Amino acid sequence: MAEEILRIENLHVKVEDTPILHGLTLTVNRGEKHVIMGRNGAGKSTLASVIMGHPAYEITQGKVFFMGQPLDELDVFERARAGIFLSFQYPAVIPGVQVGTFLKKSVQSVRQEQLKARAFRKELNEAMNTLDMQKSVLARYVNDGFSGGEKKRLEILQMLLLKPNLALLDETDSGLDIDALRIVAKGINQIAPDAGCLIITHYQRLLDHVKPDFVHVMINGQLVMSGGPELALKLEDQGYDWLDTPEVEA
Amino acid sequence: MSDEAREAIGDYRFGFHDPENATIRFDKGLNEQVVRDISELKNEPEWMTEIRVKAYHHFMERKMPDWGNCGELNNIDFDNVTYFLRSSNATEGDWDDVPDDIKNTFDRLGIPEAEQKWLGGVTAQYESEAVYHSIREDLEEQGVLFLDMDSGLREHPEIVKQYFGSVVPHTDNKFSALNTAVWSGGSFIYVPKGVHVEMPVQAYFRINAKNMGQFERTLIIADEGSSIHYVEGCTAPTYSTDSLHSAVVELIAMKGAKIRYSTIQNWSANVYNLVTKRGVAHENATVEWVDGNIGSKLTMKYPSVLLKGEGAHAEVISVAYAGAGQHQDAGAKVHHLAPRTTSNILSKSISKNGGRSSYRGMLQVTPKAEGCRAKVVCDALMLDNQSRSDTYPTMEVGNSTADLEHEASVSKVSGDQLFYLMSRGFSEVEAMALIVNGFFEPFTRELPMEYAVELNKLLELEMEGSIG
């Protein structure tokens, strides 16, 4: 029986005074990979940020439940500790904080336990090997001077270590070359069986490596159509113009 | 950012103290007789007594500085300061003999006994004199002299007489005059020619008596081709009345020698910390100051280096942390007096809760100092809108062959950084601590590891305090 990870009911969201999401409904179960596609400005990244709890976004209507619990009761870090992970499109630079230190502290914060140095090192080594990452990255500062591909790889590394129940991937595939794309896909596929995945992307090409269970099209802050992998192929081929633009209340 | 998170950064936590255990305590206030009594009590040679008395008169005549935070300086009530206090009669050489309440203090600061095993030696200044003093045998075998300053004067008067006041004369400023008049404790180190002290040697200082002045005097001489790293750490308990800390540190690096002097000071928010630190670097010598200023009511401190010999090098890395009601007026001074001398200054400051941090720097290149290179970088991080950060850089360049760089930046913690870290499981307070630790990292990485750990722990303890 399917275990519900994320349930979004008629979600309306605004940022400052601009409404962005207009009644979005979606359920993600454990083990399912959902892909959301859509043009720039459709509200895809907003959805990911809202689920993570970004303070700039205000929910004006509707509800989000994570494993049965209303999310509005949880602060950002409590959501992380409950098992929500967001792979950022533009991860922040934290000068002076070494990646190795950051990863260990982050995993400790999320798991709320002191890690044994040796056990953590082993875990870290395995994850880095999976993602074909150099050990030297551990001594660098978080995202400081990283290329786009390095940043995305570090995001996926964190995802492997944090083992989330819900993985939100916000354009993780953007700007990656084919090798990096394959590696990122490997990371997603590794956690996917045990998590609910919500993958936001512009491109079909990631889906050559990550096979989605559902593909949704977002236009004007609503999901206007859902289907299987074939929908992504059609969008790649024909664009979004054949879809009706939903009307939005003023 | 919430008030709670802001509150959490840098609130003073080490507010404990041990019962006062003083056996000799002078009345408050200063006059020539007090100065003579201090000298007599220590059985000092007459020349030292005379230096003290001369310095005392200079102190009385010298006007208060009219720059920096002079309003705050004028609040110092010199009549309400105890100028000498002795807590323990003997200078001890064995950790087992150190009184328990003193050990407790170190324990609560998290300084593990095991540290000593790999440290070159320890003098822990408690009140005005060293109570614990140990030199590892191999240091002794190398001929390194490492004593508290009082013992240094007693056992090696000829060296002290030659160098005492040679870098920081009592006429340098009002507070160097005061220190010279009433100094007590501090470290005396002499490293013989060609000797490299591999491990850092260290001393801890703290203030533990109400209204007690702390006037330690440190003199380090590294003879030709030698090297040493000296580490000094301070934490002070919180008291409601004002305390004055006015130290003098003199470093002499002879030809080809290298001295690094590292400090973390964490004074409670009522301490005036007015310290004169200066080093001389002779030909191809290096003097490095690694200087961390946390806490205090007002700190005015500008570690400086006189680059006297050709090819000498100066390095000054400092951090300052100003919280509510605190003013960190810190910086660096480098004087390029000889050709092809080089220097780097890196200054980082954090202000929060209305705290104020100022960078005050002086970079001088004299006309005959050709082909010099100097770089100054100042970064300020503000944690809120009530805090203040100023920069007062001065450059005096006497010739056109100097290669000078100056960079300054002021930044704030961004919402994006906080959201990113919180999405990784860090509470807002933890996220702030991480950002602050990261900002200080170029400083922290220069410290011996256990000091770096202590500094980071200090910040984390402060966080916990505010959440609790």
**Tens digit of pLDDT for each residue in B167-199?**
999 999 999 999 999 998 888 999 999 999 987
Q: For residue A202, give both structure tokens.
A: 């512009």
Please tell me the distance in Å from B254's CA to the nearest CA on chain A.
Answer: 35
Radius of gyration of chain B (CA): 21
CB–CB contact B430 A109 (8 Å): yes
Using alpha carbons, select from B169, B145, B139, B171 the residue that is nearest to residue B159.
B145
Q: What tokens appear for A54 in the block?
A: 């970004």
Q: Using an 8 Å CB-CB cutoff, list chain A residues near B442.
A: 96
Phi and psi angles of residue B441, each rounded to the nearest 5 degrees, phi first? -55, -40
Q: What are phi and psi of A183, to 5 degrees?
A: -70, -45
In a domain, A215, yes or no: yes
B236: nearest Cα among B295, B300, B178: B295
Q: Using CB atoms within 10 A of its CB, is residue A129 exposed (0-12), middle (13-18) or buried (19+)?
A: exposed
Residue B426 has its nearest CB partner, among A77, A91, A96, at A77
pLDDT digits (tens, 9 = 90+) for B388-413: 888 899 999 999 999 999 999 988 88
Q: How far is CA B337 from the centre of its chain?
A: 25
Residue numbers of the domain that contains A96: 4-238
Q: Are strands B258-267 and B227-235 parallel, antiparallel or unpaired?
A: parallel
Strands B313-322 and B298-301: what pairing?
Answer: unpaired
| Shortest Cα–Cα distance, A22 to chain B (Å) | 24
Of A93, A110, A141, which has the smallest distance from its Cβ to B425's Cβ? A110
- B interface residues, A as partner, C-beta within 8 Å: 414-417, 419-428, 430-431, 434-435, 437-442
Is residue A15 over pLDDT 80?
A: yes
Worst-scoring range by mean pLDDT, A189-198, A221-230, B225-234, B454-463? B454-463
Q: In the prediction, which pLDDT does A3 show?
A: 95
Q: What is the pLDDT of residues A66-107, one digit of tens each?
A: 999 999 989 999 999 999 999 999 999 999 999 999 999 999
Which parts of chain B sit beneath pLDDT 70? Answer: 1-25, 85-137, 203-213, 233-242, 450, 457-468
In-domain check, residue A139: yes
- Whether A72 maps to a domain, the answer reads yes
Q: Report yes or no: B463 and B36 within 8 Å, Cβ to Cβ.
A: no
Contacting residues of A for B440, CB less than 8 Å apart: 96
What's A161's domain CATH number? 3.40.50.300
Q: What is the pLDDT of residues B219-255, one digit of tens each?
A: 999 999 999 999 886 544 434 345 888 999 999 999 9
State how far the Cα of A189 lies from the Cα of A186, in Å rounded to an integer: 5
Residue A41: predicted pLDDT: 87
Could B422 and A86 be called an inter-chain contact, meaning their C-beta atoms sit closer than 8 Å? no
For chain A, the average pLDDT equals 93
What pLDDT is recorded for position B110?
Answer: 52
Domain-located, residue A146:
yes
Q: In chain B, what residues touch A141 (CB-CB under 8 Å)? A: 438, 441
Q: Which H or E run includes B449?
A: helix B449-467
Who among B416, B422, B438 is closest to A95 (CB)?
Answer: B438
| Residue of chain B nearest A85, judged by CA positions | B423
Q: Is the pLDDT of residue A230 over 60?
A: yes
Chain A, chain B: beta-carbon pairs less than 8 Å apart: 82
B421, B432, B441, B453: best to mutate for the A interface, most A CBs within 10 A: B421
Half-sphere exposure of B247 (CA within 13 A, CB side): 28
Type of residue numbered A69: Q
Contact residues on chain A for B428, CB-CB shorter than 8 A: 77
pLDDT for residue B127: 37
Q: Examine residue A250 and state whether it is found in any structural domain, yes or no.
A: no
Please give the average per-residue pLDDT across A156-170, as a whole number.
97
β-partners of residue B289 are: B261, B316
Cβ neighbours of A166 in B, within 8 Å: none
Interface of A to B at Cβ within 8 Å reads 52-56, 75-77, 79-81, 85-86, 88, 91-98, 102, 105-107, 109-110, 141-142, 158, 162
Backbone phi, then psi, for B271, in 5-degree steps? -95, 135
- Token pair in block for residue B434: 């991480």
CB A168 within 8 A of CB A86: yes
- Asked whether residue A249 is assigned to any structural domain, the reply reads no
Whether A95 and B434 lie within 8 Å, measured CB to CB: no
> Which residues in A lie closer than 8 A to residue B439 (C-beta atoms)?
95-96
* Burial classification of residue A35, based on how many CB atoms lie within 10 Å of its CB (0-12 exposed, 13-18 middle, 19 or more buried): buried
Cα–Cα distance list, B254 to A32, B310, B332 (Å): 71, 12, 21
Per-residue pLDDT reduced to its tens digit, B307-321: 999 999 999 999 998
- Looking at beta carbons, which residues of chain A come within 8 Å of B415? 55-56
* pLDDT at residue number B352: 84
pTM to 2 decimal places: 0.81
Q: Is residue A243 part of a domain?
A: no
Structure-token match 């041990």, residue found? B18
Cβ proximity of B105 and B206 under 8 Å = yes
**Contact check, Cβ <8 Å, A97/B437:** yes
Say yes or no to pLDDT of A137 above 60: yes
> What's the pLDDT score for residue B114?
38
Q: Is the pLDDT of residue A169 over 80?
A: yes
Q: Which of B422, B439, B446, B460 to mutate to test the interface with A (most CBs of A within 10 A)?
A: B422
Mark yes or no for CB contact A94/B435 under 8 Å: yes
Question: Is the distance from CB of B278 to CB of B247 less than 8 angstroms?
Answer: no
Number of domains present in the structure of chain A: 1
ipTM summary value: 0.96
Per-residue pLDDT at B203: 63
Checking if the pLDDT of A180 tops 60, the result is yes
Comparing A129-133, A137-141, B114-118, B227-231, the range with the smallest average pLDDT is B114-118
Asked if pLDDT for residue A132 goes beyond 70, the answer is yes
